[in-house]
Structure formats: C-alpha cells, structure tokens
C-alpha cells in the first residue's frame, strides 16, 4: 500500500513539473530562437485577472519559469511575482534593468545599464555571480545547450558579444564587432545569430565563439532576429524587414515595413506562413513568410516598439497608445482590445490559459478566462 501511495505521489509530481515546463516562457520571445510563436491558442475573450503595481517604470518584458514571472525596472529592481499576482521577492542591482531577464535552470540572469550581467537564485533572489562588460547591456541575454555544455550569451555597447558559464559567470569567449550590440542574440542549432549597429548579421559557433559567416546589411540593426525554419527575420533602422537563409547565407527577400521609413525596434514574430512586425509609424504589418508580400497592416494610435506574439490564428501585441490588441492572423481584423492606461513597450508572456503584459509605468497585468 505504501509503495502504491509513493508511486501516486511521484506520478503527480512528475505531472505538475511537466505542466510547469509546458507553460514556461524562460527567455524573451518564449524560445531561444526568439521566434515569438506560442504553441497554444490565445483565448479570444480575455478578462483582466489581476494587476500588480511595482515600484518603478519599466521597459523590460517579463519571463516565466515554474509559475513565477520575473522582470526588471528602471530603478534596477528585479521582481519575482507568482502566477496569481503575489510578489515573492525583489532583488536590487543598483542600475537600470531594461533588458528582459532569462531563466536558466535555477538562475535568473539579467543585464543592466552599468554593463554588468548578474545571476540570482530564482527561488530566493540571492545574488550568485556577476560578470562585467565594458559598457551598457540593453538587450536580453539568451542561453544555449550543446550536449553537456551550455552558455549564456549577451551583447554589450562595448562592441562585443560575450558568452559566460551559467554556473560561475566566468567568460567562455567573446566576439568583437564594429559597433554596439544592443539586441538579443538568437540561437539556431549550434550557432548564435545576432545583429548590431555595424549593420552586419553575424553567425558564430556557440562553443568556440568562432565567427563562421557575416551578412552585411549596411544599416543599423537595432533589434534581434527571429529564427524560423532555418531563416532569420529582422528589421533595420530604415524600416525594412529582411529574410535571410541561414544555411545559404543569403538575403532571400527584403521589403519596406514602414509608412515613413521609421526604425524597426521590435522583433518579428515568425510562424509557419506569416511574419509580423510593428513599427514606429504606429502600424503592425503582416507579410507572407516565404515571399515577403504584405498580407495586411493594422493601425494603432502610437508607435509599436514592443514585439508581437502569434499563435496559429491570432496576433497579440501592445502599443505606445496604451492598448493591448488581439487580431486575426489571417486578415488583421481586431478581435479584442484593452486600455492598459499606460504605454506598452514590452513583449507578452503567453501560456496555455493566460497571458501577461508589463506596462511602462511598471504594472504587471494578467489576462485569461475566469474559472
């Protein structure tokens, strides 16, 4: 009888852990490929479940691991908030933390304006290690795993992409570029793919840091690429959207994604048939992922500097006009919107039953269906 009870406990523990992992969103954009795609269908008529105010303004985006949301703010405070809206801990970094954190196993890792990458225990918030670059860190870190090896990669305004040991924070390698690296690096198999203000997309080996190829775009690349099916999708500072075949190392197509040649600050969401990107010109654009032909565009009343998330049939994003929007992916028609009362410059976390947004005035909002 005791053995049966133990087996039942083990089974349900495994079930809960598996469910938590399914609902995890441990890195900015959900996956290390930064695709911005959720495997779940976004609820069509969401309700506001809770609203938690924090102690500072924020341009960060939340991430989620094991039922806890993590994010930073302009005061340099990292917050851990449970999925039911209770603050679990706060940790002070002493420098603005605009970059979204990344969760890797038992650590929350975040970069800040003082150029320091910090790791803290995700349960307690206790600092574990720090690694200093020579200038500001503006983008989120990312992680890679290859067999028994792993690393945390982050860009810096010191012109380098840095890779450190997740356990110790010790430098594994760094790769020099010709200008600021302010976007999040994306992971494609055993390669890291990133752009920068030198206008070059670089591809490097994750283990050695050796640069294997470059693609010169010639214009500032302010944000990260999204990787889908062996292609990288990204915008530039002149409002153009690119599709690069990473295996052939060539630009497949490029199109204008702007009414006014405004900069693209956000990251595309790249799905099976569509790629979606917002712009400073207040529009959200949707293109055919294979040809670059525009499918539709949707106008908001403010610049779109955050990044959308797409499901099989819907698009979810926020705008600087203070609204959160849910659209049909097929035609761009509005399904739902919500006035958050402050600009939205973050990317959402999406799980099976809920989604979460961070407002610029530092409020974390949870949406879903009330049970």
**What one-character-per-residue DSSP string does 187-233 give?**
EETTEEEE--TTSEEEEEETTT--EEEEEE--S---S--EEETTEEE
Q: Among 5-19, 98-112, 196-210, which is the least confidently predicted range? A: 5-19
Res. 162 pLDDT band, cuts 50 70 90: very high
For residue 9, give both structure tokens.
């406990």
Q: Share the mean pLDDT of the chain.
A: 92
Asked whether the beta carbons of 340 and 365 are under 8 A apart, the reply is yes
Number of domains in the chain: 1
pLDDT score at 2: 53
Asked whether the beta carbons of 132 and 121 are under 8 A apart, the reply is no
Whole domain around residue 9: which residue ranges? 2-368
pLDDT score at 8: 41
pLDDT tens for residues 57-69? 898 999 999 999 9
Residue 184 DSSP label: P
Residue 73 DSSP label: -
pLDDT tens for residues 252-284? 999 998 877 678 989 999 999 999 999 989 999
Res. 22 pLDDT band, cuts 50 70 90: low
| CATH number of the domain that residue 79 is part of | 2.130.10.10
Res. 371 pLDDT band, cuts 50 70 90: low
pLDDT tens for residues 166-187? 999 999 999 999 999 999 999 9
Mean pLDDT of 103-114: 98
Give the integer Cα–Cα distance in Å for 5 and 258: 61
pLDDT score at 270: 98
Asked whether the beta carbons of 255 and 261 are under 8 A apart, the reply is no
Give the integer Cα–Cα distance in Å for 39 and 350: 9
Render 263-287 in DSSP notation, one character per residue: ---S--EE-SSEEEEE-TTSEEEEE
């Amino acid at each position: 009888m005791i053995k049966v009870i133990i087996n039942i406990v083990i089974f349900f523990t495994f079930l809960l852990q598996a469910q938590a992992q399914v609902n995890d969103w441990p890195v900015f954009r959900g996956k290390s490929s930064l695709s911005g795609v959720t495997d779940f269908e976004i609820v069509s008529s969401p309700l506001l479940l809770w609203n938690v105010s924090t102690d500072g303004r924020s341009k960060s985006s939340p991430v989620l691991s094991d039922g806890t949301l993590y994010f930073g703010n302009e005061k340099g405070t990292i917050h851990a908030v449970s999925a039911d809206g209770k603050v679990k801990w706060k940790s002070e970094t002493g420098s603005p933390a605009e970059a979204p954190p990344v969760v890797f196993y038992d650590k929350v890792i975040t970069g800040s304006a003082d150029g320091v990458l910090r790791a803290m225990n995700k349960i307690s918030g206790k600092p574990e290690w720090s690694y200093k670059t020579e200038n500001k860190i503006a983008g989120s870190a990312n992680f890679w795993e290859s067999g028994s090896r792993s690393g945390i990669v982050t860009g810096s305004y010191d012109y380098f992409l840095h890779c450190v040991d997740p356990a110790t924070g010790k430098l594994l390698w760094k790769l020099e570029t010709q200008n600021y690296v302010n976007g999040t690096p994306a992971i494609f198999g055993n390669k890291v793919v990133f752009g920068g203000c030198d206008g070059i997309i670089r591809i490097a080996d994750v283990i050695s840091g050796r640069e294997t190829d470059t693609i010169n775009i010639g214009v500032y690349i302010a944000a990260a690429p999204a990787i889908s099916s062996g292609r990288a999708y990204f915008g530039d500072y002149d409002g153009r959207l690119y599709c690069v075949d990473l295996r052939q190392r060539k630009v497949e197509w490029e199109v204008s994604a702007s009414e006014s040649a405004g900069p693209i600050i956000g990251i595309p969401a790249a799905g099976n048939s569509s790629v979606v990107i917002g712009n400073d010109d207040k529009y959200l654009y949707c293109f055919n992922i294979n040809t670059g032909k525009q499918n539709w565009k949707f106008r908001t009343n403010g610049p779109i500097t955050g990044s959308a998330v797409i499901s099989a049939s819907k698009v979810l994003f926020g705008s600087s006009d203070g609204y959160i929007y849910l659209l049909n992916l097929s035609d761009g028609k509005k399904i739902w919107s919500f006035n958050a009362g402050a600009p939205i410059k973050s990317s959402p976390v999406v799980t099976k039953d809920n989604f979460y947004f961070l407002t610029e005035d530092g409020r974390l909002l949870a949406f879903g269906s009330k049970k």
